[in-house]
Chain A
Amino acid sequence: MTFEPKIVGIFCNWCSYMAADLAGTARLKYPENLRIVRVMCSGRIDPQFVFWAFKKGADGVLLAGCHLPTDCHYIEGNFKCLRRYKLLKKLLPQFGIEPERVRLEWISASEADKLQKVSKEFTEEIRKLGPLNIEG
């Protein structure tokens, strides 16, 4: 059986999730490997969510929020997301997880095409990395 990566997306309500909605309305097809969870802000994305996703069988996690530096609906949520993402990437290898399995992208409400491009790229990247296959 060919490997189909399971990818969890954690998207902010105001920009990136809107972009996913727009992709739907505009009939821009993106890989069904991506399952999107909506949070109010990328600043709400707790590294615990990422570990939880991996533990529950995700092969990759795509985080998305509003563009830097001024797009965040809550002014600085995306700043916090970026900082956490950078430190998280440094931690992941210590857990034996390739840092490439987590990716952060800024996707605005109008960028359905970017969502399509990013999710395709990321799915292929994870496909190359292979399954995470955490034991137990």
Chain B
Amino acid sequence: MKKPKIAMYWCAGCGGCEEAVVDLAENLLNLAEKVDIVFWPVAMDFKKSDVEALEDGELTASFINGSIRLSEHVEMVKLLRKKSQLVFAFGACSYTGGIPGLANQFTKEDLLSYVYEEAPSVDNPEKVRPIPNFKDGEFEVDVPDVLDICKSLDEVIKVDYYIPGCPPTTNVIIDAFTALLEGKLPPRGSVFGSNRSVCYDCRLNDTKPEKTLLKELKRPHEIIPDPEKCLLTQGLVCLGPVTRGGCGAVCIEGNMPCSGCFGPLDGVKDYGAKALSFIASIVDTIDEEELDRIFEKIPDPLGTFYRYSLPKSLLKGRVRRCNP
């Protein structure tokens, strides 16, 4: 039997997702025996032309990580879509927009002027910026254009499956590969991981009382939490209860509260709004000034609740107002 061909590609990501693949350790060797990896720029020497030379649909699956930030990403993922039977969004960035998506709080001009002109470490008196399709006489230099907003993968191409996580944990990656290789894939559009919240997997779940109410919120640098007690009940903003499980609550093992990288549970449209709703509702006061004081511990609600999901939120980022 011919081995299924797969491709792995990165867009605007940090490389953590590739690292997560390498973290499969000996499982990676098992995988490499069962599939032909025909494109994986970070690890192997293949070119775009190799992908172009494939028949349409010749790839069994493409695993694409990173959010869509540049025109180059759009071009590459459209090519991979054409050549693949299945596309897996790999990791929080391609699934919900991820950390690069936080840039949607600013306009493209804000970002470029800060990065190329205003940042304290920049020395650029001539204000040189990258220009797509730049020509100077006979010389031509082409760099990709920055898109107006950062997008998740499924805003650009059709995505069949989602592998959540920043980065996805080994067990979720193995689940996805196993399902693919054994032909036991769930319905299209499914998200790997469980459909219970992180709390369900969390070792500290039993220490969570029936009803949690907080008089104070704490930021992680302010306390040394008791590692044997639910971090939420200790006042830390732990998003475990509204976040998809399947990760094994690994952050809690490191004494850090859940920051929500696995994204929303089924049925939630806007993860950040749901997370905000949950944290706010367990604050134990109805005095408005007291509420303001307690919420001072959340100085950046957008960064806290939409850390991995701003491009997939209902408003997709800071709203652009058209002129009346």
Query: Is the CB–CB distance between B281 and A94 below 8 Å?
Result: no
Contact A87-B279, Cβ < 8 Å, known A47-B273, A130-B324, A135-B322: yes
* B323 to A: closest C-beta gap in Å: 8
Q: Which residues of A contact B305 (CB under 8 A)?
A: 91
Query: Is the CB–CB distance between B295 and A94 below 8 Å?
Result: no
Contact A90-B315, Cβ < 8 Å, known A3-B324, A131-B324: no
Query: Is the CB–CB distance between B315 and A79 below 8 Å?
Result: no
Contact of A136 among B276, B281, B283, B320 (CB under 8 A): B320
Residues 163-177 (chain B) with a chain A CB within 8 angstroms: none
* B308 to A: closest C-beta gap in Å: 16
Chain B 258-279 near chain A by CB (<8 Å), digits 1 or 0: 0000000000111011101101
Interface size on B, residues (CB 8 A): 34
Q: Which residues of A contact B45 (CB under 8 A)?
A: none
Does B122 reach chain A (CB closer than 8 Å)? no
Q: Which residues of B contact A135 (CB under 8 A)?
A: 319-322
Bound CA span A50–B300, Å = 19
Which of the candidate stretches B62-70, B226-234, B285-293 sits at the interface with the other chain? Answer: B285-293
Q: Which residues of B contact A82 (CB under 8 A)?
A: 286, 288, 291
Q: Which residues of B contact A96 (CB under 8 A)?
A: 318-321
Does B298 reach chain A (CB closer than 8 Å)? yes
What is the chain A residue whose CB lies nearest that of B285? A83
Residues 29-74 (chain A) with a chain B CB within 8 angstroms: 43, 46-48, 50-52, 54-55, 68-69
The count of A-to-B residue pairs whose CB atoms sit within 8 angstroms is 102
Does B251 reach chain A (CB closer than 8 Å)? no
Contact of B314 among A43, A52, A86, A91 (CB under 8 A): A52
Q: Which residues of B contact A84 (CB under 8 A)?
A: 276-277, 280-281
What is the chain B residue whose CB lies nearest that of A79? B286
Contact of B283 among A48, A52, A83 (CB under 8 A): A83
- Which A residues lie at the B interface, using CB under 8 A? 3, 43, 46-48, 50-52, 54-55, 68-69, 79-80, 82-84, 86-88, 90-91, 94-97, 130-136
Given A46-B274, A83-B281, A135-B320, 6 new contacts (CB under 8 A):
A46-B273, A47-B270, A86-B295, A94-B318, A134-B315, A136-B320
13 A-B residue pairings within 8 Å (CB atoms): A47-B276, A48-B273, A48-B274, A51-B273, A79-B286, A80-B280, A82-B291, A86-B292, A87-B301, A130-B324, A132-B321, A135-B319, A136-B320
